[in-house]
Amino acid sequence: MSATNFEKIGKLRRSLLVFSAFALGMAASWVQADEVELTWTDNSDNEEGFNVERKSGDGEYLLLATVDADTEAYLDSSAEPGVVYSYRVSAYNSFGSSDYSNVAAHYINVAPSISSIEPVELAANESASGLEFTISDFEDSAEDLILSVSSSDESVIDETGITLGGSGSSRTISLDPLSNGGFATITVSVSDGEDSASMQFLLSIGSYDYPSLELGIDTIAGQARAGESFTVSSVFSDSSDVAAVSFTLDGVLIEEVSSSPYELTFGISETGSYTLVATASFLGAEGTVSDQLSISVSEAPSSSDIVSNLKTTAIDGEGSTVEGGYDLATDTFYLEDELGVIAGTSDSPSYYYLRVEGDVSVIARLDAFVSASNQSVAGLMLRSALYGPATQASLLLNDSGSLVARSRQSRGASVEGVSVKTDFELGSWLKIDRDGETITFYTKSGDGDWETIHSMVLDLGSPVFVGFAVAAGSAEGTASASFSHVSLDGTILELGEDAREPEVPTGLIITPLSN
């Protein structure tokens, strides 16, 4: 044998000597049902891991798990009640394994069992005696088990009217109600001192009076919208004996709810008409109660990316006030303006805007427009900057009900406009596409096709601002507009510092140059 081999054997023996004392004090303890926690002391500094072994009863030890070095605990989640388990642990590295730790044994209690009793129906002034059921336990004699009983409605029957009898595993229950009508849920429990089990049955005096069920719907907009969650509620005349409510949509089970208030919150991704049916079952009763709800799902509201990024401003600050916002319930953006003008070299509307990169397409339905003067306008606008008479393209509705395509070809130039539609109706749609330097304007009514009404070549640069514009005109008064069904095809950007008008330089002086 070479010196190298002797050296390896010496290292292995030293490793095993260190390992041999690694797990003194290993213990197994109960954590929760069917789980055993093993803990040990790691006395090595050169192990690569630990092998955890387990045997059942008098069986052979089998590898249960391998854990990493420096680990001192393991949770056995595969243990079953009623089995005596023995555990041992050893450390290992590339040279071999240590001796086994001490053996730790553990046993998980088996809960007792109790048979069921069918629902009991009694006539007025009638009692029941000798209703049979059985109890048993894996570890203990049935004589040592503890029985208890309760009533859900003590005005119908209280504990004095319930008598338990029998012995061993064969037990009985007798019922002597207080009431001549009504129902109560009787609960019988059995315990072995560590775990328990119970069964329930319904006591009905007279015929069972099923409660009524009525469905309600709670939506953000007063109507379900595609992709938006809403809540369906179940209103019972008496919910004390409700076992569960099953909800189906067009015959497909969505969910079964087994706890009060028996509500269901969900969403439907596609528009259309649907039928929701709720079916309630009751403790101890064979019958069910149902109600149905017709749900009409409308179009989804505007993207949250649009809503959260839109900002309002008064271009050049000449408008006295800017009021704007978004109403989620109606999916409506609104904007007001005073004294703003979009004409000549004036450029001071109220603006509700986003900043986008590259080509863009924006769509909105113009639902309402209140003018303040014959110069009032409202519609969609693309701009190269937020301040001053910037290069811009806009599709605006004026005071006379005509759509006008306006543009400013360069910063500081006068606004040019052309009437593109003279019979625009509120509730119709506006659309502007920007493809490179080509700007195209569209409109449509209702669900009709898009109509191209104008196009122009205009260098807006990139990025650009896109949004809603409202200008009241020079007269006193407030102009306002409402837009809905807004969509945007483009890349939304953060505003950035360059979106603001730069500050005016100050302190300019001339310093003579010396010869």
Upper half-sphere CA count for residue 175 (Cβ side, 13 Å): 33
pTM of the model: 0.47
Q: Are 40 and 26 in contact (CB under 8 A)?
A: yes
Parallel/antiparallel/unpaired status of strands 196-205 and 120-122: parallel
β strands within 422-457, DSSP E: 428-435, 438-444, 451-457
Is 3-107's fold the same as 304-499's? no
In this structure, CATH architecture of domain 3-107: Sandwich (2.60)
How far is Cα 9 from Cα 480, in angstroms, rounded to an integer? 92
CATH class in words for 304-499: mainly beta
Q: How far is C-alpha 503 from the geometric centre of its chain's CA atoms?
A: 45
* Extents of the domains making up the chain: 3-107, 113-205, 213-297, 304-499
Parallel/antiparallel/unpaired status of strands 264-266 and 230-236: antiparallel
β strands within 108-241, DSSP E: 113-114, 120-122, 128-136, 146-151, 162-167, 170-175, 182-191, 196-205, 213-218, 230-236
Q: What is the pLDDT of residue 287?
A: 81
Q: Are 249 and 276 in contact (CB under 8 A)?
A: yes
| φ and ψ at residue 71, rounded to 5 degrees | -85, 140
How far is Cα 418 from Cα 395, in angstroms, rounded to an integer? 10
Beta-carbon contacts of 226 under 8 Å, excluding residues fewer than 6 positions away, are 268, 269, 270, 271, 297, 298, 299, 300
What one-letter code names the amino acid at 216? G
Q: How far is C-alpha 494 from the geometric centre of its chain's CA atoms?
A: 27
How far is Cα 237 from Cα 209, in angstroms, rounded to an integer? 11
Tens of pLDDT, residue by residue, the chain (515 residues)? 333 332 322 222 223 333 333 444 456 554 455 788 999 999 888 999 999 999 988 999 999 999 999 999 999 988 888 889 999 999 999 889 999 999 999 888 888 999 999 999 888 678 999 999 999 998 889 999 999 999 999 988 998 999 999 999 999 999 999 876 788 999 999 999 988 999 999 998 876 678 999 998 887 656 788 878 889 999 999 888 899 999 999 999 999 999 989 999 988 888 889 999 999 998 756 689 999 999 888 776 666 667 666 666 666 554 445 677 887 777 888 888 888 888 888 888 888 888 898 899 999 999 999 999 989 999 999 998 887 788 999 999 999 999 999 999 998 899 999 999 999 999 999 999 999 999 999 999 988 899 999 999 999 998 999 989 999 887 678 899 999 888 888 888 877 655 555 666 766 777 777 65
Task: Give me 82's structure tokens.
Answer: 């009623």
Task: Give me 61's structure tokens.
Answer: 């030890």
Kindly indicate whether the domain formed by 213-297 is annotated with CATH number 3.40.640.10: no
Write down the CATH superfamily of domain 113-205.
Immunoglobulins (2.60.40.10)
CA dihedral 379, 385, 391, 395 (to 10 degrees): -10
| φ and ψ at residue 192, rounded to 5 degrees | -105, 15
Beta-carbon contacts of 120 under 8 Å, excluding residues fewer than 6 positions away, are 128, 131, 175, 186, 201, 202, 203, 204
Task: Find where tokens 């896109």 sit.
Answer: 466
